[in-house]
Chain A
């Protein structure tokens, strides 16, 4: 079980990690990085799957179904646009080779 202070510790350490990762990023990467982090919270798909998997009533099923559609959209869309943007970042050396 993830409970009480364990949860707080995870939260704190993960928050520091996120802050450190972005710390000295050049502004040329702001847009792709925002897109990349947008992709990472697509992990919400996993939660939506669990929610739908446990749903009983019709209303829960409908909401869970929509949730999984939205979560899958976040994960897949986030990946595709980030990959497309980063694909284009090449240095002069890579260009000529």
Chain B
């Protein structure tokens, strides 16, 4: 018996250490200087917690457990190593969905086992299961949308009402399950409804808002894990889940704010539903050739580069960094200006630039750099569109009105590298392209960057 007790203490102590490592790791991850060490600390915590769980008293099915860990672990390892940096957001959605599914599975096993759960435990198990299932199916839809497997957004009138009805039905059945222990049919219906709810909630949300939704589901999975932690009396799950739940909620708010959208707005309305009567833009787009741009930048004092998702799609970030280095060698002050929602989600563009080898201390946030555009000789806009559109400041009728933008239009010269003359992600004409000091360099991002490199070298 004493052996049993001490085993229990070893397990509890290990979970305690794991919880500390998680919190410490997350804290380190919130600064770019220490971030790399942070994930390793948290990883160590995960290894400790997983290994010690094999010693848990009263368990069997170890062979099955090992096989399942192997299957899930290897599949995730291979896919995670292979995925391109541009596809990172949907991968996060996928892994997050898996966590939600695991939480739902725990709830299902506990509920199916019936037993003598107290009322509180029943409620928490059901709640965690429901949130986990919604997060699971919702995240899979988000993944499918960003991966391009699902192109359309499905909307019909009364959709909110149907969702509300689904939610109500799920909650009612959840209530019944809490009191009727172990009814297999009810439990099945409950989880099917919750899964369906996750799908119908996510379908009407447009691709541009997906990052906020993924972040929300991340927070929800954390909450589900915490609830199941209470059910299993596992302190590590409670603490880690709750920390992620609250951190994720805050992160979701920060993202929504950076995109100038409220969370309610993201969840309950489609972007660009109401066709706004934006005022007509006058003027013309003036083309320019690469040699002229090269001269302009090589003899400038300060060049600000504004990259957008288009640059990443063209895989031009390496060339752009090479160009920036050439200019720096000539004594030009080169800085990268990043809008919070450049790329697919806040911070995504920084990851893509980091991949190309751009050091993070010449990459600046919108609020750090915006005043500097007035003193810049050249603003080089490559693959970015809506985030530099001045109508966000001037035209109240525009759907992006009020969104914070990079003040590229304040620079003495603006060069826009762009494939063709089309409008941006949101389908809104960009007033920046029509300004007197703006010149358009038409072509593929990578090709144009290469040409600019050649031209600067030959000067």
CB-defined contacts of B71 to chain A, threshold 8 Å? 69, 72
Total contacts A to B, CB within 8 angstroms?
A: 390
8 Å CB contacts to B: which residues of A69-97?
A: 69-92, 94-95
B241 A78 Cβ-Cβ under 8 A:
no
Question: Which residues between 8 and 42 of chain A lie within 8 Å of chain B, taking CB atoms?
Answer: 10-11, 14-19, 21-42
Which residues of B lie under 8 Å from residue A40 when comparing CB positions? 22, 25-26, 42, 222, 240, 243-244
Rounded to whole angstroms, the CA-CA distance of A68 and B75 in the bound complex is 13
Name the interface residues of B13-47: CB closer than 8 Å to any CB of A: 18, 22-23, 25-27, 29-33, 35-36, 38-40, 42-43, 46
Pair A22/B30 contact, Cβ less than 8 Å: yes
Pair B99/A64 contact, Cβ less than 8 Å: no
- Is A61's CB under 8 angstroms from B95's CB? no
B134 within 8 A of A: no
Which of under 10, 10 to 19, 20 to 34, or 35 or more describes the interface residues of A?
35 or more
Closest Cβ–Cβ distance, residue A63 to chain B (whole Å)? 5
A75 to B240, CA, bound (A): 12
Distance of A11 Cα from B362 Cα, bound (Å): 40
The answer to whether B81 touches A84, judged by C-beta atoms less than 8 angstroms apart, is yes
Alpha-carbon gap, A39 to B43, bound state (A)? 8
Q: Is B377 an interface residue (CB 8 A)?
A: no
Q: In chain B, residues 92-111, which have Cβ atoms closer than 8 Å to a Cβ of chain A?
A: 92, 94-96, 98-99, 101-106, 108-110
Bound CA span A50–B251, Å: 30
Contact status A43-B64, CB under 8 Å: no
Tell me whether A48 and B25 are in contact in the complex, defined as CB-CB below 8 angstroms, given that A19-B250, A73-B76, A76-B80 are known contacts. Answer: no
15 A–B contact pairs at CB < 8 A? A7-B230, A14-B226, A19-B250, A32-B351, A40-B22, A41-B99, A44-B241, A46-B49, A46-B50, A46-B237, A54-B109, A71-B102, A73-B73, A85-B351, A95-B357
Chain B residues near A (Cβ < 8 Å): 18, 22-23, 25-27, 29-33, 35-36, 38-40, 42-43, 46, 49-50, 53-54, 56, 58-62, 64-65, 67-73, 75-77, 79-81, 83, 85, 88-89, 91-92, 94-96, 98-99, 101-106, 108-110, 112-113, 120, 136, 184, 214-215, 218, 221-222, 224-226, 228-230, 232-248, 250-251, 254-255, 258, 338, 340, 343, 345-348, 350-351, 354-355, 357, 359-363, 365
